[in-house]
Each structure stands twice: as structure tokens, then as C-alpha cells.
Chain A
Amino acid sequence: MRRWIPYTLLVVSFLILTYVTLDRYISDEGPMVISQTSQTSGNNSKNVKIGGPFTLVDHTGKKVTEVNYTGAYKLIFFGYTFCPDVCPTAMQTVSDVLETMGSKGEKLQPLFISIDPDRDTPEILASFLENFHPKIIGLTGSQEQIRNVSKSYRAYFAKVQEQNEESDDTYLMDHSSSIYLMGPDGEFIKIFSHGAPAQKLANELQSIL
């Protein structure tokens, strides 16, 4: 009978070890690709390249590339104007950050890149942005251009197919909600997650800029 004790102990400790390992593995290495890893280390840009050249149209209808914004620290958000919750919240946060930072924020260039180019024409972007900080630039483009830019930023977006709706103009989009901070030469610096308060962003940006 005694002989079973060490064996049982071994099995139990093995089970505990497996559980602990799995638990760690699952919570740390989940499907989260960029937002989590890059939040923990700002140098992640060396491993996963984020960002790159793009050709888009701004909210005044002018064709632009990444070169237009060289020299500025860019705060980039991917969203769409038909979004009633997350996107206006993010733009309000960015507006508050610019407001809070005052002259220090002059080095910042916020870019709102539409992931819904079918609906977001330059005019619609302009009308969406007119109520936020005037420095925010809206960018849109062809489906292909938007696919390319979001791919280079590893930003995810997908149209949600409504089960009961015929294809009208009220569809929803799933999209990455993070704000990317890119350096003056387009180098990736870090990602801020959605919901970070404006004051916290402003403080962090003060120390980086």
C-alpha cells in the first residue's frame, strides 16, 4: 500500500505543474499579437515591423504619402466615421491630449485612417473631424490602399455581416482600437491601448517627445 504514495505524489505534482504552465502560457501567449507584446517592450519594432509607406487621400481631398508627415511624431488610429462609440471616444482623447500638451504637442500629428473607405469619403471625414481638434488629419483611399496600410501596421479590420439586413449603409466594422505612436522618420515607438485616459497619454508623450 505504502508503495503508491510516492507515485501518487509524482502524478499530483505533474498535474499541478502542467496546470501552472498551461495557465501561464494561455494568459501570456494568447492570440494577442501586437498590442500586448509591444506594450510590454517598446523595442518590439525590431522584431515585428510596424508601419511603412502608404499612399492615401486626406480629408481635404489631397493625395498624400507617409513623406508628408516626416518630421512629426504621429498618433495613428484606424477607425470609421459611422462608429458611434469607440472612434469618437478615441478622437476626443486625442483632442484632449493635444489640448493638455499645449505647445509641446506641436510635434504631434494625429492621423485618423478610415478602414471603411466605401462610406468614408474625404468630405465625410472632414465633417466627422470638424468637431475635434483641428490638427487631426483624416485619411482614406481605395480598398486596396486601406488594406495595404492596415496590413503594414498589423491593424485588423473586417466588415460585420448583419444576418437580417440587406446590404444597406448601416453595416458595422470590427477594427483595431489601439493608437500607434510613430516617430519622425516613421519608426514604430509604441502602442497605446484604447481607453487609456488623455492625461496618461499626455504624460507618456511628454516623456517621449
Chain B
Amino acid sequence: MKSKLVKAMAFAIAIMFFAFPSWAISYTSGNIVVSDPFARATAGPARVGGAFLKIHNNGNQTEHLVAIVSSISDQASIHQSLEVNGIMKMRPIDSLEIPPGETVVLKPGSYHVMFMGLKGRLKKGTSFPIRVVFKSGARVNINVPVLGPGAKSADPKR
């Protein structure tokens, strides 16, 4: 009887390992799920840094990402990278829409969280907290791991 229980638990744990790889972190607050955050390590003196994450809206109203609050830099904002005729442009945006039932991914070449006036270097292997703020008043506190300077996703193997 006992061994059956142990087996069942071992099985459950194994399933958890396969279903949720260690890098797949998610944070839920109300209808909003923020997952797979990562930042890129910065070069010594660079005072800007970028972070990426996924936002899912479980609600039936559109949510608007309006701010990122963090103490690691003087300013944090949401930026969009746009390629226009082979020219890369990066511009701040005021608000990012998350339609009901959808996931918006902030990823390299698209949207990113931009930290300006970093107070210190973002070192690979460390992490820092940020607060993701929505127009509805929803806010999600998350912890952002710092990966390599050219990291393209939250999965360290890629």
C-alpha cells in the first residue's frame, strides 16, 4: 500500500518535471498570467538593458500593459522594435493590448521591456524583481532571471 503511494508520488513528480521544465516560470494575478521572463546580461558600462516575457489574458476584457516598475533603473518602459526597409527602429509605446484569451509575447525583434539608466550591470545568473502594471489596475510582481547577452528565449538551452 505504502509503496503504491510512493510510486504514485514519484510518477506525479516525474510528470511535473516533464510538463513544467524548470525554466517555465509563470506568475498569476487575477486574469493575467505572466510567464517565461528573462533579461539579457548587459556589457559593463551599458546603461540600457532589455527584458522579455509572455502575458496571457484569461479574462473577457482587453487588458492594457501600461507600465513596468523596477528599482534597477531610473526608467523602465515598453519598446517596440520595427524593421522598416531594412532599417531597425526602436520606439517607446504607451500601452500594449492583451486581447481576451490571447497571449502577447515580448520577444527579441518585437516588443521588449527597456530599462534606461541601469544602476548596475545585469549579470548573467542573477535575477531582479519587477512589477508589471495594467490599466485595469492589475499588477503582477515577477522575478526576472538574467540570461546571456544574446539570449533569444527563456529556455537556457536555446
Contacts and interface: CB of A to CB of B under 8 A. Distances in A.
Contact of A131 (B47, B112, B148): B148
Given A124-B46, A160-B90, A194-B109, 12 more contacts: A81-B46, A82-B47, A85-B79, A86-B81, A89-B152, A124-B45, A132-B150, A160-B89, A174-B89, A175-B88, A177-B86, A194-B88
Contacts of A172: 90-91
Contacts of A34: 86
The interface residues of chain A, by DSSP majority, are classed as loop
A83 B79 CA distance: 12
A84 B150 contact: no
Contacts of B88: 86, 174-177, 194
Contacts of B109: 85-86, 89, 194-195
Contact of B150 (A31, A89, A176): A89
Contacts of A194: 83, 86, 88, 109
Interface in A66-124: 81-86, 88-89, 91-93, 95, 123-124
Interface residues of B, number: 35
B152 A178 contact: no
Nearest to A39: B86
Nearest to A133: B150
B150 to A, nearest CB: 3
B56 interface: no
Contact of B87 (A36, A89, A174): A174
A168 B152 CA distance: 29
Interface of A: 30-36, 81-86, 88-89, 91-93, 95, 123-124, 127-128, 130-132, 156, 160, 168-170, 172, 174-178, 193-195
Interface in B64-79: 75, 79
Interface of B: 40-50, 75, 79, 81, 83, 85-91, 108-109, 112, 114-117, 124, 148-152
A124 B44 contact: yes
Contacts of B83: 177, 194-195
B106 to A, nearest CB: 10
A176 B47 contact: no
Contacts of A89: 108-109, 150, 152
B117 A32 contact: no
A85 B108 contact: yes
A156 B87 contact: yes
Contact of B85 (A32, A82, A131): A32
Shortest 5 CB-CB distances between A and B: which pairs? A92-B150, A84-B50, A35-B86, A128-B43, A177-B88
Nearest to A86: B88
A174 B87 CA distance: 7
Contacts of A195: 83, 109
B119 to A, nearest CB: 13
B48 A131 contact: no
16 contacts: A32-B86, A33-B85, A34-B86, A84-B49, A91-B149, A92-B148, A93-B150, A124-B46, A130-B43, A131-B41, A169-B47, A174-B88, A177-B86, A177-B87, A194-B86, A194-B109
A176 B83 CA distance: 9
A172 B79 CA distance: 11
Contacts of B46: 81-82, 124, 128
A170 B150 contact: no
